[in-house]
Structure 1
C-alpha cells in the first residue's frame, strides 16, 4: 500500500487523490475497494431515488470529505466543477458507473455534466471544529462521507462526537451514508 504522509506537512495530496479517485491507480487493493464502494453507493442512491425517498434536483446533499488535507481537495473540487483544463479527469469513474453499472457508457459525459451543473456550493468543513460548517442553510437530506471521520478523529470519543455533529446537520428521518475502515 502507498504511503501518503508521515505527518501533515509531508502529505502528498496528488498521490492520495490519484490512488483513491482513479480506476487506473497502481494499487490493485485500492482499485478493488473503489470499485466495490462505487457499486454499493450506486445501489443505495438508485434505490433511494427510485422509491421516492429523495427527489433529484431538490435533494440537499453534503459530501463531507476530502481526506487529511483541508485546502487541496477544495481546489480540486472547484477545478472539476468549473471544468478547468487542469482539473483531475474523472471520466473513468463516470464511464464505470454509467457504463458498467447502468449499461449506457455513451451517457457518461452527460451524467458528469449533469452532476457538475447541480452542485451549488463547495464549502470547507472541519469535523474538529465546534461548528462543522458555517453560513449554510440546514438541514441536509443526505450526508455522504467516506474514510474521513477516521482521518479527522484520533480518539473514539472524538469519532462519536464527530458523528453526532454530522447528524445535527440532517433533518428528521434523513440519513448519513458512510464508509469507514
Structure 2
C-alpha cells in the first residue's frame, strides 16, 4: 500500500511549491490535518490547501493550527460543523491537489490534479465515507471510482455562505442521527 505522506513529499510538479519549499513539511499529508485529521472520521476532499504566497505569509500559524479561520472556506466550514453538531476533530480533510499554486485563483491543469489524487489522496481514504467539497474533488472521485457525496466547495462563487454551509452540514454524519 502506498504511504500518502511519502507520496505527498515526492509530489513536486514543476511550477508549484511544495510544503517543504515553504517550511510546512509537517508529518501530515496536509497541515489542515492539524485540526481535521481524525484517522477514523469521514474523509472530506477539497480542491487544494492554499496558494504558495498565502502559505508563506502565514507559515507559523499554519504550522500550529493547520488553517486560517478568517478565510471564507473556514468560516463556511465552521458554520456547517456547528449545524451538524461536529467539531473539526471528528473529520479528516485532505485535498485533490497536494502542491501550492503560484497565485490564489490559479487554475491547476486537470492532469496534475488527477496525478496528485492518484498518487496521494485515494490512498488516504480507506473504507471511510467520502464527501467531495466542490466540482474538482468530485471529478477526481468519479475518475477513480471513489463513492462519494458531493457538496458545494465552501469558497464557491454564486451561492450564499448559508446555502453552502447547509449543504455541507446535510452531508456530514450528525451525532444524533448515528445515535438514533
TM-score (norm 1): 0.32
| Higher Rg | 1
The answer to which structure, 1 or 2, has the higher relative contact order (CA under 8 A, 6+ apart) is: 2
TM-score (norm 2): 0.32
